[in-house]
Amino acid sequence: MRTFRFSCHRGLACFTACCRDTSIFLTPYDVLRMKRRLGLSSGEFLARYTRLLVARPSGLPVVVLRMGDDPEKRCPFVTPEGCRIYEDRPWACRMAPVEVRDDEPVFILEPSLCHGQGEVREWTLDEWTRDQGLDLYDTVEETFREVTSHPRLQAEEITDPAVRDMFLMACYDVDRFRRFVFESRFLKIFDLPDELVARIREDETALLELGFRWVKFGLIDPGALKVRDEVLAARRPPPRE
């Protein structure tokens, strides 16, 4: 495996120069961590710090961090000392300035702009992703990635606004999804173990993972959640005389 040399630190002339005028796509777990870090509800965070785009070809919403209105379009979280939410910075900021192509690390910024390239610290891709805390994302978002990379969503556009909104709620708006789970017929329809119901009351990450399973159930795999027997029985047509 190829290695690369890189280190990002305050001593570099480019320090924080990359935290402006850039498109940072937020993953669901990013939104969860950032809203928690800032003490906001997920709805407040989405309204204040993000804008929505539409993924192609799926037609599903994607969330992008909104840069500032200042002439430099700086990230709302950048300070002269660095990122003020560093421990909960987005996935894309953890990876940058490295991208993976054909399983190999590639720099996406020119060395003249990103001076950390060529510093003495040497990394394999595995070491880098571990150091940046990206393994946790792989675990938490496994089902989300399974859904969004599914062949159905690569070939077919979801056009129903209600389905798009359900996806947005379950994947990015965890506080709205919590209300939906506990205040609608959700728990009367789906047969969830008591232990899981207790956990999702307290644990937002578990609630997010349930959201991914619900989206998987609705979009690609009806086996992803168990529907209660009585609900299925009520849906069956009556036997013919």
Q: Which residues bind ligand SF4 (CB under 6 A)?
A: 8, 12, 14-19, 24, 75, 77-78, 83, 85, 89-90, 93, 96-97, 109, 113-116
Phi, psi of 174 (to 5 degrees): -65, -30
Q: Could you tell me the smallest distance in angstroms from the CB atom of residue 168 to ligand SF4?
A: 21
Quote the tokens at residue 153.
Answer: 């969503």
Closest residue by Cα to residue 96 from 33, 25, 28, 146:
25
Which C-beta is closer to ligand SF4: that of 64 or that of 83?
Answer: 83
Q: Could you tell me the smallest distance in angstroms from the CB atom of residue 54 to ligand SF4?
A: 23
Q: Could you tell me the smallest distance in angstroms from the CB atom of residue 21 to ligand SF4?
A: 10
Which C-beta is closer to ligand SF4: that of 26 or that of 215?
Answer: 26
Which C-beta is closer to ligand SF4: that of 19 or that of 147?
Answer: 19
Burial group, residue 183, by CB count within 10 angstroms (0-12, 13-18, 19+): exposed
Which C-beta is closer to ligand SF4: that of 85 or that of 189?
Answer: 85
Q: Could you tell me the smallest distance in angstroms from the CB atom of residue 174 to ligand SF4?
A: 19
Quote the tokens at residue 238.
Answer: 């009556």
Q: Is the peptide bond before 105 cis (omega within 30 degrees of 0)?
A: no
Closest residue by Cα to residue 143 from 210, 199, 61:
210
Q: Could you tell me the smallest distance in angstroms from the CB atom of residue 161 to ligand SF4?
A: 30
Provide the phi-psi class of 103: left if phi over 0, else alpha when psi is between -120 and 50, else beta: left
Which C-beta is closer to ligand SF4: that of 86 or that of 182?
Answer: 86
